[in-house]
Structure 1
Amino acid sequence: MGQEPKKMDRRNFIYAGVGVIALVAIGAAAYFATKPPEVTTVTTTVPTTTTATTTATTTIPTTTTATT
């Protein structure tokens, strides 16, 4: 009649704590594993230089002198 209800001993308390920590770690790992990757957009501007080259060709007439 005078029995006390059994109290939770220290070992069971530690096991319960470790179990809760394991569940939190598994939940966090599952969250990060199923999370889509973040999209990062990087815009770069590269200056361009255009050089126009014009070549002019002039024909110089030559005179030949024939001697006999």
Structure 2
Amino acid sequence: MIDRTIKIEISPVELLVLKKLVLINAALAQALTDPFAAREQASMVRSINELVLRADVASKVRA
């Protein structure tokens, strides 16, 4: 099995920016009237939120 894991460093400021991006994109997803665009935006919110949650957990484990 090939390990395709990519490791990146995210600073606390970058993590905060990503959290704000999730909030902004979630609000946008709710405001969109086009169902396809809203679904795509909601999908992006879930993806970014998953990244934020994993980065948040990793930062607490290192502390």
**Interval of TM-score (by shorter of Structure 1 and Structure 2):** 0.3 to 0.5
TM norm structure 2: 0.43
TM norm structure 1: 0.40
Higher Cα Rg, which structure: 1
